[in-house]
Amino acid sequence: MAANLSKIDYSNKTIYIGLDVHSSKWYSTIICEDKITQIAFDANPEQLANYLETHYPDATFKAAYEAGCFGFWAQNKLEALGVETIVINPADIPTSDKDKVQKNDKNDSRKIALALRNSMLESIFIPTRTQQEHRELSRRRDDLVSKCTRVKNQIKSDLKFYGIKYSEDFDKSTTHWSKKFVEWLGKIKFETTTGVNVMKSRINELNWLEEEIKLISKQLDELMQTDEYKEAYRIVRSVPGIGKIHAATFILEIMDIENRFKRADQYHSYVGLVPSEHSSGDSRHIGHLSRRCNRYLRKIFVEASWIAIKKDVALNKYFEELKNRGMKSTLAIVKVARKLANRLRCILKKKEEYKLGIA
């Protein structure tokens, strides 16, 4: 068998590999000209690379797999083994209605391989290992804040469930979650020791989460003061409405604004400020903001814009003009957010601080 394979010259051929990656198995579709081979491998880049080298010696290898929970380690390993590999957004894979009905691992890998061969796929941005680990710091903080909010909601739900009224000192929601409020929670009387213990457990969890948030916030601030991020951090912080945490989050999610986005619309799409569109012929319908975006960034610009229109005369004028045309405030602020995002991209490229009042 090996002797027969060696007679075929693969030196001028490109082999396309579509991978459906799982924790224990990689389902692959391998395309060599018109021949399609489907085979499953252990989740081991070396095993796949060895198979390709053995069966297609001296060929050029191009592989692709979907971005997901398995990150970029497989791409890094395959590249090091001589297999040119891209990581793709699952939404970019051409899919027929039949594919949706008959979805399985083999079909998924086949779709990727065919689209790769037909030059229909583009790689998403692949961060370095250092960039990935730095980014996890801001994402960890976001996760802790969400958990903290959940615990607060659980405590309030308990109070509502048992009909426990707030004392006069805490009638207003703005007084909640202060040190005195948490102390009051700990003094609430329940009919059983179990009820007391549950409330104490929730308070302990809340205190721990808040301490962790403080710790992560401090570590983020220290990271932004390093040579790698200090200059960009200074520029982003100059934007009205963007505080320390939002600035750090933006920098760690964007990573490389110089080379990552070839066009402005790619940047807008990633930030999440592009509306969906359904148009045909003379009919054009612009819908809500696209769901395809980085979920950490859109809220940064929308929240910052509400503050920016109070500090920047030019943005406030733009906001008022939109409202005067009949646009709702909630829609107008999204347009302001897009303008603010544009300005941030511009000043980062020019390495200049934000200037107030410029139209």
Q: DSSP letters of 228-251?
A: TTHHHHHHHHTSTT--HHHHHHHH
147/94 same-domain check: no
- Structural domain that includes position 152: 129-224
Q: Specify the pLDDT at position 276.
A: 46
| Domain finish residue from 64, 94, 117 | 117
- Residue 108: HSE in the Cβ half-sphere, 13 Å Cα cutoff: 16
Total number of domains constituting the chain? 3
Q: Specify the pLDDT at position 288.
A: 54
Q: Specify the pLDDT at position 86.
A: 96
105/183 same-domain check: no
- Quote the DSSP letter at residue 107: H
Give the span between the Cα atoms of 236 and 224, in whole angstroms: 11
Q: Specify the pLDDT at position 1.
A: 46
264/173 same-domain check: no
Which parts of the chain register pLDDT below 70?
A: 1-6, 97-101, 275-292, 359
Q: Specify the pLDDT at position 293.
A: 76
Q: Specify the pLDDT at position 287.
A: 45
DSSP character string of 153-199: HHHHHHHHHTTPPPPGGG-SGGGTTSHHHHHHHHT---SSHHHHHHH
Q: Specify the pLDDT at position 286.
A: 43
29/54 same-domain check: yes
Q: Is residue 239 part of a domain?
A: no
In what order do the strands lie in the sheet containing 84-88? Answer: 35-42, 25-32, 14-21, 60-66, 84-88
Comparing CA positions, the residue from 27, 166, 46, 199 lying closest to residue 104 is 27
Q: Is residue 60 part of a domain?
A: yes
| Adjacent-strand bridge partners of 36 | 31
| Domain finish residue from 224, 247, 279 | 224
Q: Specify the pLDDT at position 285.
A: 43
Length, in residues, of the chain = 359
Q: Is residue 247 part of a domain?
A: no
Q: Specify the pLDDT at position 197.
A: 96
Q: Specify the pLDDT at position 291.
A: 65
Q: Is residue 320 part of a domain?
A: yes
Q: How many of the other CB atoms lie within 10 Å of CB of 178? A: 12
